[in-house]
Amino acid sequence: MEEGKNLLNQFSELFEKWETSIATDEWEKSAEEIYKIFPQLCKNFLFGECTKLIGLLQTASQHGKEIIWGRIVAEINKSFVEMPKAEREILFPVYFKLGENAVESLLNLLKEVESKDLRIQIIEILKNIFTKSPTLLPKFLDTITEPWFLVRNLIMIAGEIGSEDIVPHMEKFMGNPNEKVKRELAETIIKIKGINAVPYLNKMLIDKNPLIRRQVVELLLRYQLWSTVGAENILFSMRNAMDRIGSEEEENFVRVSVSYVTNALPRLHNPERVIKGILTLVKMYGKKSLIHGRKSKTQTKVLSTLLNSLSGVAPEKLQPFLPELENSTNMKELQEVLEKLKSR
């Protein structure tokens, strides 16, 4: 307690001198004095004084900042990591005051720490800084490519900020090999752009990894983004997946894809392209000679479900496709569905 009082008195005396020297040649000497006292301020939890000092440092010349800035941030980070979780929020205003000057060190800290609680708090601080300085986040999105969890966290922050201007800076991550990065990217673009996100997600809908394709379709379902383009691209991706239906991941992708298409179809104003997509699948797999083995039962069920979904389409829009659909299959299960569609 006494040490803290003495330190406060010392700080008050020195602060007035620093204020007058900050724009003079004496600044370098003051910088060294500041660095000596700063760890003591942190150690004694005098973070109000830290914030006041940072405010003063922000008025210094660029050269002056270079002398001391990194060392100051390092001291704050050290205190932040060593503090108990419940007390770390005391340091949040210090980081907010540092603003842009703290970002790079916080990102490095995020790479190093293993504690989940620490990471969450660092992300919270970064989100506040990026929200107050909108031009900062795109700069880091443009330059950072790894590790994957850092990229994912930056994408997540972008989603919470919600600025459409950020989206072009994230498109390069479409090619990121990490599944968690791609899932976060898909959800972030959906959060920001809503139904207009669908064209951005097309590349992921044809990804080689069925898990990524499935996750994107699940997000479209969860956010109820019913789109002709989305349904059309999902049906296109299903063409190859139907052949690999023996794989559990491919089968899961096909399952959620059927759910999306059948839910979207009645809600589409112009379903013709989606009907054509279903027709193509029936042509590819609707003949007994084209499917065989244990996959055939699942494939037939998929085609039957898709054909049944056409009952939600207005008869006048479906009518032109019926002759071609009828000639595309010789399978009894599918022909029975087509007879019901014709009789409407």
Q: Could you report the per-residue pLDDT of 31-44, keeping only the tens digit for each?
A: 677 767 777 777 66
CA distance 141 to 126: 13
Nearest CA-CA partner of 8 in 61, 50, 65: 50
Work out the average pLDDT over 170-175.
91
Do 115 and 83 contact (CB within 8 A), yes or no? no
Integer angstrom CA distances of residue 321 from 208, 261, 326: 31, 17, 9
Smallest Cα–Cα separation from 239: which of 141, 306, 331, 321? 306
> Angle CA(229)–CA(234)–CA(235) in degrees, nearest 5?
100
Higher per-residue pLDDT: 195 or 343: 195
Please tell me what DSSP assigns to residue 335: H
Tell me how far apart the alpha carbons of residues 82 and 96 are, in angstroms, rounded to a whole number.
19
Contact 179, 211 (CB under 8 A): yes
Is residue 80's pLDDT more than 60? yes
Q: How many CA atoms lie within 13 A of 172 on its CB side?
A: 11
Task: Enumerate the domain spans of the chain.
Answer: 1-8+28-99
Rounded to whole angstroms, how far apart are CA atoms 123 and 117?
10
State residue 291's pLDDT score.
Answer: 52
Contacts of 39 (CB under 8 A, 6+ apart): 75
Determine what percent of the chain is predicted with pLDDT higher than 90: 43
Kindly report, residue by residue over 89-110, the tens digit of the pLDDT. 888 888 888 888 889 999 999 9
